[in-house]
Chains A and B, each alone.
Chain A
């Protein structure tokens, strides 16, 4: 069925193009400036296109401390993703399969926790980490990140698991599978799309986390990318070409993960909020 190209449809198309410009213009500019050599970013007024594009900024952006931040971010994010998803799977399974009153109360308590502001509770957490001698370690960040991402992860996975009929568990029990086997060989494989969506979400959140990383890390060796970037503004505030090149480098992993796993991610993100 070919729809007619009415004036209205052309108008909608124009609106979509305008939307694309609003979304993409800042990105385009980030990439454009990152390709501008030497003093070109300082031309007044600014030019949208680089006149003599070069990768120099990327080479100088990839200096040793940036590499350290990158490694730190990868270690912290991947550890958080692995631990959070595992714990969230166990909790979500329990929440969907055993709905006693006490368990429901626990669920509300866990869900409500995610909404409280990290900034309001960061000082006591900071003191706890200090007493445990964990400040300026991966462990302090990973622990904090697991805690803030866990409730959302449980919420996303719960929406997924709630759709698996309980008869599946019962059939497995009749066939003689214990609760562990039911969980690992029946439930887990069926939750794969949900697990992927949750993992991408946790990755996006931890990769950009700023407040905890800013407060808990005190040396350059332990900084993650967002904090390192924030430091760059002070140190290299006027080297915009390099700053934009590092911005592109930081964004690539999460943008790539998103585009590769887009379908599952959007489905998982909206499953909880739309269907309740």
Chain B
């Protein structure tokens, strides 16, 4: 069963999942470096974006539901630190396929930034133009 699922994940093309919704991409970014529970994901996104992106409970768990369904993330059976943590919390981890999708989305966005740079739409270019 596990082998079948792994094989299915391998067969899937990350490009088919693009573009990701901003909420989904932020969740993947939050899980890229460590496993987290819902509130931790929310706090990480909030801090990383200096409060510009705030995931509400509905957006967060709606996205988590879809990402679990698409096997971009997986729910952990064990909590990383059971002694200090609330046992009602659920922890999530980026799956191998989820990481590939996150990389593909990051590359897609990087491509867009490159286009914006050539069109001189980035702040750095505007400053350069103003000085000139």
Q: Do A and B bind each other?
A: no
Residues on B facing A (Cβ under 8 Å) = none
Residues on A facing B (Cβ under 8 Å) = none
